[in-house]
Amino acid sequence: MQVYLFGGHVTSWKNELGEELLFLSSKNTFKPPKAIRGGIPICFPQFGNTGSLEQHGFARNRFWSVDPDPPPFPSNTSSRAFVDLILGHSEEDAKIWPHRYECRLRVALGPGGDLMLTSRIRNTNTDGKSFTFTFAYHTYFFVTDISEVRVEGLETLDYLDNLKNRERFTEQGDAITFESEVDKVYLSTPTKIAILDHERKRTFVLRKDGLPDAVVWNPWDKKAKAMSDFGDDEYKYMLCVEAACVEKPITLKPGEEWRGRLEISAVPSSYCSGQLDPRRVLFTG
């Protein structure tokens, strides 16, 4: 596991065989304030370009620090290793987002090698003002061949299509596969989503809490060429499935705290396929 203070950004997560599980672009410049392309960018206090701030907010473009005194975590969270990071308000950011806040992030490795990210955002305004935000873990999964990948758990859900002015549609009833650019915000999804990498017989299982939505993104070839920090054919080896809170922004009064948790495990595919879609379970008996 590798985490940068810049952006509070996880850039590497490997399995017990030392195989990398997250995609990180070979075209990264690692020159702040430019966000890191790949890994797990934190989108806060704004997801996408839905508000007045820069795309995906500013948390991914700021230097976080190691949290010297994180509030206690519920005792039932066992982890092999973890780090606590914190990002707080600054005079600079107050000019664009006039709020006092504490954004804490614990990045942990579970006993089985699962990756767990827990964010705790507290409103520390002293002027009695509430604030509202959207949020996402913009996770880039490393896949063997995007055309052989399928996502289960989002069937029949409504989504906002970012390629069609955020118009609302309903997804078809089958697992999602990829043959062109996709940029969709799935609404009120199940807490469990699976990404099946057929070639590698590997399944990523995402479990999320406090993050009702899920964004699915692959830039495909044209957008890939247009991004300076992304290789022309790198779209073949990545898929973003982002645990998010987009449709219903979160509002916190002073003193209130929000928590958003993501747990990712990478398991052999035979373990998972079809277990997420109740109809499939029915059929496969």
By annotation, the residues acting in catalysis are 138, 242
User: What's the rounded Cα separation, in Å, for the pair 231 and 227?
Assistant: 8
Q: Smallest distance from the beta carbon of 111 to ligand TA6, in angstroms?
A: 31
Has 122 been labeled as part of a binding site? no
Annotated binding residue at 280? no
How far apart are CB 271 and ligand TA6 at their closest, in Å? 28
- Least separation, in Å, of the C-beta of 43 and ligand TA6? 8
Q: Judge if the upstream peptide bond of residue 190 is cis by omega within 30 degrees of 0.
A: no
- Residue 238 CA to residue 161 CA, distance in Å, equals 20
**Phi and psi at residue 200, in whole multiples of 5°?**
-95, 5
Which residue, judged by CB position, is nearest to ligand TA6 in the bound state? 217
Which CB, 129 or 248, lies closer to ligand TA6?
Answer: 248
Give the whole-angstrom CA distance, residue 269 versus residue 273: 6
Query: Cα separations (Å) of 152 from 83, 209, 279?
Result: 31, 18, 12
Residues in CB range of 180: below 8 A, 6 or more apart: 220
Q: Tally the residues of the chain.
A: 285
Q: Which is nearer to ligand TA6, 15 or 55 (CB)?
A: 55
| Tokens of residue 92, six digits | 């600079």
Whether the CB-CB separation of 220 and 206 falls below 8 Å is answered with no
Judged by the rule CB under 6 A, the positions of this chain that interact with ligand TA6 are: 35, 48, 55-56, 138, 162, 183, 215, 217, 240, 242
275 is in an annotated binding site: no
Give the pair of three-digit tokens for residue 236.
Answer: 């073949």
Rank residues 123 and 162 by Cβ distance to ligand TA6 and give the closer one: 162
- Nearest distance, CB of residue 219 and ligand TA6, angstroms: 7
Residue whose CB is less far from ligand TA6, 6 or 217: 217
Residue ranges for the known binding site for substrate are: 37, 55, 60
